[in-house]
Copies of this chain bind each other. A is one copy, B any other.
Amino acid sequence: MAEENTIYIGKKATMNYVLAVVSQLNSGCEGVCIKARGRAISRAVDVAEIVRNRFAQGLNYHDVKIATESLPGHDGTNANVSSIEIYLSK
């Protein structure tokens, strides 16, 4: 999936991301990828479910991928953080 169809979930309110996903879909994309790391993972799942149940009923989960990313921490060591990628498509 093209990089521009990816929505990264951060610390903003859930509905901001819902709006971003819905706009992406309305611009003619066949699908979107929702990505999140760490504690934003539960928000990513919320975003996907709200979009599916309220805004885009025909949308289905194409794939859900779980992985671990190694990020450099403040003290120079690496911290492992879980990540999720949710692929939604029409």
Contacts and interface: CB of A to CB of B under 8 A. Distances in A.
Interface residues on A, range: 20 to 34
Contacts of A66: 45, 48-49, 61, 64, 86
A38 B49 CA distance: 12
A65 to B, nearest CB: 8
A46 to B, nearest CB: 5
A32 B39 CA distance: 23
Interface string A37-51: 011111001101100
A15 B16 CA distance: 33
Interface of A: 38-42, 45-46, 48-49, 53, 61, 64-68, 80, 82, 84, 86
